[in-house]
Amino acid sequence: MQKGYLLLSDGSLYEGKVFGKSDICCGELVFNTSMTGYPEILTDPSYNGQIVLMTYPLIGNYGVDESWNESCGINATALVVKKLYEGPLPPGRISLEVFLEKHERCGITDIDTRALTLHIRRCGSQNAVIFPSERMDEARTLLSSFPSITERDLIDGVSVHEITKDPELGEGFVKAPEKPECRIALADYGVKRSIIENFYRRNVAVTLLPPTFKSTDVLDQGYAMLFLSNGPGDPALLQESVAEVRKCIGRLPVCGICLGHQIITWALGGRTVKMTYGHHGGNHPVKDLDTGKTFVTSQNHGFMSDMASLPESVHLWFVNANDGTVEGLYDREKHVRSVQFHPEASPGPQDATWIFDSFLEEVR
């Protein structure tokens, strides 16, 4: 490994060693508090355009089995760790370094991730660049002109471009049901395989729609529900999708997760706002306001719903127990239900998988 640097847009500079693809990598820097699950995190399409900083100090100690991947490859722009594990691995697994090399992604190790995380908490998520030491000037030039996450279309490269029935998820995942109870239309903004798998497990067939779908692709087509997936970027940029979803609301159940939840917020008449540093990790407590119960969730988002902007008919379902932000909502009359967190986990706790049953209750 060669000497390299991590440079933030506010001028903060951290020295380390680069691994994986030796190149200049630029994106929004966010921190993830998960202790494990780095293969699932790196392959989560919602991280497209972002550099992921792992707060847990040792990363890579159990290697990578690509059957764990949440998509076809690594979507995160780069990875930042305090200590990259380079020791022996279980048979059949590849090292994290080889995994990044194979998918042409950058990494940097020997970074003071505790200091860097505290800096992000104080100053907020921001663009950053990872680069080999000899390319300092080139990296500074790229970072100075690199667009913010609110100006980038990050969905096109992680979603389907044509209608796809019952996609194959690959080794280790459940297959589509042969005699499904119903079929749903799933708008793909960068869907994780585990989300589709959770519908398959419940005997539900899935038809993926590209993010450019029209309401006519959904309405009167025999679908039991329109489901909006997770995905990267700013939901405020997706007003064409918002308009099509709005046409579907009230005509059939509409549910969503993460970015899908945020699009539903806009479609119901609300707005979203950018968070200072977002929620990324597998240990976020969420309170169910209907039952009073609190459970632990997996999360990955940098934007949140503004509850004050929503009409009175929309009910606040979940809140984050740490900061009180919106984590879920529903409209009983219109059969709309959505959550900001990831009930499928992967990685993270599976306390919230029952949310998929709640979505399907809107159908039944």
**Residue-wise pLDDT tens digits, 208-230:** 999 999 999 999 999 999 999 99
- Which one of the listed residues 28, 70, 344, 362 is annotated catalytic? 344
According to DSSP, the β-strands at 106-109 and 78-80 are parallel
Mind listing the pLDDT tens digit for each residue in 241-273?
Answer: 999 999 999 999 999 999 999 999 999 999 999
Active site residue 123: no
- Which one of the listed residues 26, 258, 279, 335 is annotated catalytic? 258
Cis bond upstream, residue 311 (ω within 30): no
Mind listing the pLDDT tens digit for each residue in 13-44?
Answer: 999 999 999 999 999 999 999 999 999 999 99
* DSSP three-state, residue 291: coil
Q: What is the DSSP string of 26-60?
A: EEEEEEE--SS-HHHHHT-GGGBTEEEEE-SSEE-
Active site residue 181: no
Domains of the chain: residue spans and CATH: 2-145 (3.50.30.20), 156-363 (3.40.50.880)
Average confidence score pLDDT of the chain: 97
Mind listing the pLDDT tens digit for each residue in 275-312?
Answer: 999 999 999 999 999 999 999 999 999 999 999 999 99
Q: Which amino acid is at 358?
A: S
- Which one of the listed residues 119, 284, 301, 342 is annotated catalytic? 342
* pTM attached to this predicted model: 0.96
364 has pLDDT over 90: no
pLDDT at res. 236: 97
Q: Which amino acid is at 225?
A: M
Mind listing the pLDDT tens digit for each residue in 114-165?
Answer: 999 999 999 999 999 999 999 999 999 999 999 999 999 999 989 999 999 9
Active site residue 161: no
